[in-house]
Structure 1
Amino acid sequence: MTDTSSYLVCNTCGTQHPTAERTALTTCFICDDPRQYTPPSGQSFTTLSALRSAGDGRHNGFGPFIKDDPRFTHIVTKPKFAIGQRAILIRTPKGNVLWDCITYIDDDTVTRIKEMGGIQAMVISHPHFYSTHLEWAERFGCRVYLAREDQKWLARRDEERQVFLDAVETRVEINGEDTGVRVIKLGGHFPGSLVLLYDGHLFTADTLMMTPAGRANWTVDALGRPRERPKGVNTFSFLWSIPNMIPLSADEIARMWGILKNYDFKSAHGLFEGADIVDENIKARVLESMQIQIRAMGYGGHALLEETL
């Protein structure tokens, strides 16, 4: 049986490649794509085995992030590795769904999650977070839902574990029962970029990239007095390449809205720890952000600017 812990893992994006031979893999095809990047130091690789034995106290931290709602737990590797995204465990009455995936996994992580009921299904938003998803799927005996449009970005394949989604909306079922989890294919960042909706909570990864202005505290001024959020301040940006700051086209943003406007949600949760906004008006803030970006790109006559809720 192959020891996959010796497979090479990209230090920049966290993707696991199906070889332990360093001379056979000198570049990461995920990072060669202009939606990712190569650091000034160049491309380099490690392994899960090396990360586990590094002696730097690396571990996965667990924590709640929606007040008074224990159904949601994010999982974050500390110290940060690669992109630094979080995975989110969603507990439903029918079973647990893991949204997105992080590279680092060890026995302590598996034990902790099994104590919480395990993982019965995984959904990954886009190729930058494919990471070590087959390691996770094998440890928990579950399947992984991925967009069919993006399968060329898979470094490892497993016909039994990987399920490719074709529809704009997919209902996640566990043992034939509907969990209430909805996977929505918006595209944009990648052709198959996904978001996940459960009980009014929208998990956006970087399909909708939450901005610092979006997370800002506009409720009070410097003297602690109540204030309103300034007009014209965005909450999200819509990018083809996040690290290289290449925006999506106005028409692509409008196409995404044409799908998302059919759903209601009361909060949004992005790819990083702390990227959480609970606001009954969050859907309006998505539309406002799209209109701000389209107007700033010079499309003052675009039809999306006339959209309202």
Structure 2
Amino acid sequence: MFNDDLLICNACGTQFDTCDRNVLKNCRICDDPRQFVPPTGQSFTTLAAMRGNYETRMAPDQTNNNIISIWTEPKFAIGQRAFLIKTPHGNVLWDLVTYLNGETIRKINQEGGIQAIVISHPHYYTTHNLWAKTFRCRVYLAAEDKEWLCQRDPQGRVFIEGYKKEVIKGVTAVKVGGHFPGSLVLHWEDRLFIADSFVTVPSALYHEGRLPGTATFSFMWSIPNMIPMSPQAIVNIWNALKPYEFTTTHGAFTGLDVRDSRVKQRLLESAKIAIRAMGYEESQFIEQLSE
């Protein structure tokens, strides 16, 4: 049985291995400069306390019923969504939400369950032990980021050591780094699930008459605190993704889906925009960004 009284950070949704509020005073994920502690201070909840106050919503992608978004209402913690990707070789869950209840388990099992979970970075580790044990599957994480794990796990985790890992046939986790050293994206068919390894910006969603210099993505070391990545980190993201073809990107939050045959080119353009904005117009970094 899983303990529903384990403490969960209200700010980021990370679950810890203790129920004792006298022991756990701070969330190490939120104390990191990439995240933040709210002005009201650190606070914790539990799955037991959440039950009845939250619900998990699921909806198919508007162009592909084999992609199902999963999110929590009302918004909890960071508010990201997860994706259930249904393939002929098994189902992959990309990223996680903290809250999991019986109705969600039933609906996911009706879709064929989960054969593998891939998590983009430590901000979304949340309750991954619970998800893995519930669906009896492996969880794939970047080896570079294992220091941020807040729960013990005697089994179930697989650490990705290299630059990529095909977790199920046709579904590949690609290590791009930047936001965290091991930040991942997920490639499947013509889709790229990006979480916030790079960030979909508001101007991404309007396609007609885009003026030169209009960005589709930004590249942030800290998203909430608006600290950008270094130019070399941006170049590394492009170089990691250059071998892959994609016409759609799915961001971390509901509505952040960019559907455009030129979206890969727009990623390259966004990388150049970001680097030039840092003052590197004729630098080695721009020269490294080739198609």
- Shorter-chain TM-score bucket reads over 0.9
Amino acid across the alignment from 2:240: I
Shift of 1:308: 4.1
Instruction: Indicate whether 1:205 and 2:187 are aligned.
Output: no
Aligned to 2:257: 276
Q: How many residues align?
A: 290
Aligned to 2:171: 181
SS at match of 1:4: coil
Counterpart of 1:62 (choices 55, 58, 74) is: 58
Instruction: Indicate whether 1:193 and 2:183 are aligned.
Output: yes
Shift of 1:259: 1.4
Per the normalisation by structure 2, the TM-score is 0.97
Aligned to 2:237: 256
Q: Supply the distance in 1 between the matched residues of 2:162 and 2:19 (Cα, whole angstroms).
A: 36
Aligned to 2:11: 12
Aligned to 1:34: 33
Per the normalisation by structure 1, the TM-score is 0.92
Instruction: Indicate whether 1:155 and 2:150 are aligned.
Output: yes
Alignment of 1:1-309 (within 5 A): 3-53=2-52, 56=53, 58-67=54-63, 69-173=64-168, 178=169, 180-215=170-205, 217-219=206-208, 228-306=209-287, 307-309=289-291
Shift of 1:301: 1.9
SS at match of 1:150: helix
Q: Which ranges of structure 1 fall in alignment gaps of 5 or more residues?
A: 220-227
Shift of 1:48: 0.5
SS at match of 2:12: coil
Amino acid across the alignment from 1:249: S
Shift of 1:164: 0.3
Q: Supply the distance in 1 between the matched residues of 2:239 and 2:12 (Cα, whole angstroms).
A: 31
Q: Determine what percentage of the aligned residue pairs are the same residue.
A: 50
Amino acid across the alignment from 1:257: W
Q: Is the 8 A contact 2:17 2:152 kept in 1?
A: no
Q: Supply the distance in 1 between the matched residues of 2:102 and 2:231 (Cα, whole angstroms).
A: 46
Q: Supply the distance in 2 between the matched residues of 1:142 and 1:85 (Cα, whole angstroms).
A: 21
* Root mean square deviation of aligned Cα: 1.1
